[in-house]
Structure 1
Amino acid sequence: MDWRVAYFLGLLTAFLTIFVLSWKDRWPGFLRSSPVKTDVMARVVEYRLSMGPHIVALGGGTGLSTLLKGLKSFTRNITAVVTVTDEGGSSGRLRQEWGVLPPGDVRNCIVALAENDNALRNILDFRFDRGDLSGHSLGNLILLAVTEISGDFRLAVEEMNHLLAIRGRVLPVTTEAVSLVAEIEEGQLLRGELEISSCRCGQKVKRIWLEPSDPQPLPDVIRAIDEGDLIVLGPGSLFTSVLPNLLLPKIAQKIQESPLPRVYVANLMSQPGETDGMNVVEHVEWIEKILGIAPNFIVVNNGSIPAPFLEAYLKEGAIPLYLDDSQREILLEKNCQIIESNYVKVYEGSVVRHDSQALSETLMRICRDMKEV
């Protein structure tokens, strides 16, 4: 990297660090009329959140970060376990050029768990549009810089967790460099997330695995499952966000043996190029195939997607994922408890995602009901 680029990056990193450390103490002063009252309320909220259930959420991409935005309103005992197989965009370039694990999904989850995620997003998601840094987001470059300083991606993520005082913690599922490989019916091998997510052959996938085949998970991930109250899988891309975490043998074994309830949050729609033609049951069957056991709960949307947005998604090949009677019967035979509700929400006036608040309320209700059993 050119020294001028490195110097510029250093200045930006220093600015962000100073901004975050000072913002927490200074910015509220402009807004609050009664510092003592606000401080008491903050302590009450913090105490309530500290008493919340311990949630372990495994995934990646926008699905996991959307879930985390809602969960942080109910508990700060959240462990977000993020896949490290991303190879596209800024993350892919940094992985190739610097040998660092892909930081994009980790960055998104850290921002989602921050108290003021909107303010942080504007900074960490800032994307350069020219020069050697074109296409890179500031948050990815900061994670790269902290990784270079600490010499360890895990330590860099932990440092960002503490620096930004997030409600919970974000962990990569492993610090080993792994690649995703899938085999389709014709015997063809698809290597990497990009090939798998764009092959338009989801129903033809026979096998999926990681190379190397037995990467070691972070001990903290195993510990989080041991100490948790609920394991959440999804929402997110089936083959490239949800399953990669489960493909680590020790993670799959730990979840299989754990007494914790396992919840799978089904996507609102199929993903063009990756899960074309696949229904909710087929998603669940893949999870069962990898884990050796089906989820205890299946959370599925039954709300309508607004017509203008639905039309746009249909043109891209995305189909809403609803349950019919035959699917319900199959899931019940697998001893899955089905929870259906309206989880549709339009963000930023154009993007349809899960309603993170409604989804989190459902997960909290599961935790509460399980404690009462």
Structure 2
Amino acid sequence: MPSPPALHADQPLKVVALGGGTGLAALLRALKREAGRSREPWRLTGIVTVSDNGGSSGRLRDELGGLPPGDLRNCLAALTLEDSALSDLLNYRFKGEGSLAGHSLGNLMLWALADLTGDWVRAIRQLSSVLVTVGRLFPSTIMPVTLCAEDLAGVRYVGETAVGSCRPPLARLWLEPRGAEPLPEAVLALLRADLVILSPGSLYSSTISNLLLPELQEAVAISRAPVLYVANLMTEPGETAGLDLEGHLSAISAFGRVQVSAVIANADPLPPDMLARYREEGGEPLIASGDRVLDIPIHRFPLLDPEAPLARHHPSLLNQAIRETLTRL
């Protein structure tokens, strides 16, 4: 079988990013420069996990049914071509102690559009056109799903919030119902992809969650597109406590069943005061000590946003790291 053609960042690549929460949103912010350029833009697609059962999304899911809209809303805001009052409105969160307290206006807008149109994909498309976004966004499935896990001691965790407090490493990770079908548009985007990027974020509940749908795993394999993994800056208390980069990659291989082609990792040290705060909560920097882990090339770049109060990827630095990694594949 012939090798896939070499990729170049200035080509009009079909790029699919998978994940959820703040991690996928951070990756999409880094990629939208390529999707919004005037010459040969990337055709960018985000595929978002929909197993969230906490916060505003969880309340809407429990009270009204349908998909949890929070991660979809967060990623739509990230894809807006320019910051505007509309994107600020999307992220506005109601205060106080009433029934609306804690709800994001964007979550309510997405749910209302889905109810009016009877179609979550159409609702996302309509809100995208109002916000003027670059790229496309799809939920991985339009079926309400629950993330479940079991650790090595046999303790079960049901729901994304519970999995976030699990004791790694895990023995099993799956979605209920078992027969949940992926969105056809998401499968097609992966089948046509030139490049697949796994976003940073909560390892089990964001990065791997989409890949628990077998059809999405198969689509990545059939496409033969290289798979980049943008590693987290820090471990998380609970979900990845004590897991090094090898542990992260082992989990992606075991549960997501995709072959990672290369890893983009941070080379910046955290400021001492920020590091101390994370360590108080049980977090540690996710450091790549060598050039390869599990025989996967590790590409290290300065990625830390110096202006952010928390450890966050800087969009421009991450964009440059992805472009440079493409030249090394």
TM-score (norm 2): 0.90
200, 210, 226: which is aligned to 1:261?
226
1:104 to 70, 79, 84: 70
Task: Give the aligned residue type for 1:70.
Answer: A
Partner of 2:309: 350
SS in 1 for 2:71: helix
The one-letter code matched in structure 1 to 2:319 is S
Aligned to 1:177: 144
**Cα distance change, pair 329–144 in 1 and its aligned pair in 2 (3 A):** closer
User: Per-residue deviation at 1:53?
Assistant: 2.2
CA contact (8 A) 2:208 2:256 kept: no
Q: Give the Å deviation of 1:195.
A: 0.7
Q: Which amino acid aligns with 2:304?
A: V
What's the secondary structure of 1:78's corresponding residue? strand
Q: Name the structure 2 match of 1:138.
A: 105
Shift of 1:120: 3.5
Deviation at 1:67, TM superposition (A): 1.2
Structure 2 residues without counterparts, runs of 5 or longer: 1-8, 37-42
Residues 69-84 of structure 1: matches in 2 within 5 Å? 69-76=29-36, 77-84=43-50
Task: Quote how far apart the aligned CAs of 1:122 are.
Answer: 2.1
Deviation at 1:156, TM superposition (A): 1.0
In the aligned structure 1, how far is the partner of 2:306 from the partner of 2:110?
A: 30
CA shift for structure 1 position 342? 1.2
Counterpart Cα distance in 1 of 2:231 and 2:292: 17
Residues 1:207 and 2:166 are matched in the alignment: no
Aligned ranges 1:269-308 → 2 under 5 Å: 269-308=234-273
What secondary structure does 1:209 align onto? strand
How far, CA to CA, are the matches of 2:83 and 2:272 in structure 1?
29
Greater RCO structure (CA 8 Å; 6+ sep):
2
Shift of 1:132: 2.0
The residue number in structure 2 matching 1:116 is 82
- Counterpart secondary structure, 1:145: helix
Deviation at 1:315, TM superposition (A): 0.9
Map 1:1-373; keep pairs closer than 5 Å: 52-76=12-36, 77-117=43-83, 119-130=85-96, 131-199=98-166, 201-203=167-169, 205-325=170-290, 328=291, 330-332=293-295, 336-347=296-307, 349-368=308-327
SS of alignment partner, residue 228 of structure 1: coil
Contact kept in structure 2, 1:239 and 1:274, CA below 8 Å = yes
CA separation in 2, counterparts of 1:346 and 1:106?
A: 27
In 2, Cα distance between equivalents of 1:231 and 1:105: 19
Percent of residue pairs identical: 39
Instruction: Give the secondary structure class of the aligned counterpart of 2:47.
Output: strand
Alpha-carbon RMSD: 1.8
Q: Is the 8 A contact 1:256 1:292 kept in 2?
A: no
- In structure 2, C-alpha distance between the alignment counterparts of 1:172 and 1:329, rounded to whole Å: 33
Deviations 1:131-174 (A, max 9, x none): 22111111001001101100122221122122222010111010
Residue by residue over 1:194-213, the C-alpha shift from the partner in whole angstroms, topping out at 9 and shown as x without a partner, is 111023x122x111000111
Structure in which a larger fraction of residues adopt helix? 1
Q: Are 2:299 and 2:325, in contact at CA under 8 Å, matched by a contact in 1?
A: no
Amino acid corresponding to residue 241 of structure 1 in structure 2: S
Deviation string, structure 1 residues 236-272 (Cα, Å, up to 9, x no partner): 1101101110000100111123211000111001011
User: How far off its partner does 1:225 sit?
Assistant: 1.4
CA distance in 2, matches of 1:161, 1:367: 28
Q: CA deviation at 1:324?
A: 2.2
TM-score by length of 1: 0.80
SS of residue matched to 2:311: strand
* Aligned partner of residue 287 in structure 2, secondary structure: coil
In structure 1, runs of 5+ residues without a counterpart are 1-48
Q: Aligned partners of 1:293, 1:254: CA distance in 2, in Å? A: 10
Q: State how far apart, in whole Å, the 2-side matches of 1:282 and 1:299 are.
A: 15
Q: Give the letter for the 1:294 counterpart.
A: Q
Work out which of the two has the higher radius of gyration on C-alpha atoms and give 1 or 2: 1
What is the aligned partner in structure 2 of residue 28 from structure 1?
none
Structure 2 counterpart SS, 1:105: helix
Q: What whole-Å deviation, never above 9, does each CA across 1:12-63 have from its counterpart, x for those lacking one? A: xxxxxxxxxxxxxxxxxxxxxxxxxxxxxxxxxxxxx996422100000111
Match of residue 39 from structure 1: none
- Aligned CA distance change for structure 1 residues 268 and 248 (closer, same or farther; 3 Å): same
In the alignment, is the contact (CA less than 8 A) between 1:229 and 1:367 conserved in 2? no
Kindly tell me: are residues 293 and 243 of structure 1, through their superposed partners in 2, closer, same or farther at Cα, counting changes over 3 Å?
closer
Instruction: Tell me how many residue pairs correspond in the alignment.
Output: 314
Alpha-carbon distance in 1 for matches of 2:194, 2:147: 29
Q: How far is 1:228 from its partner?
A: 1.9
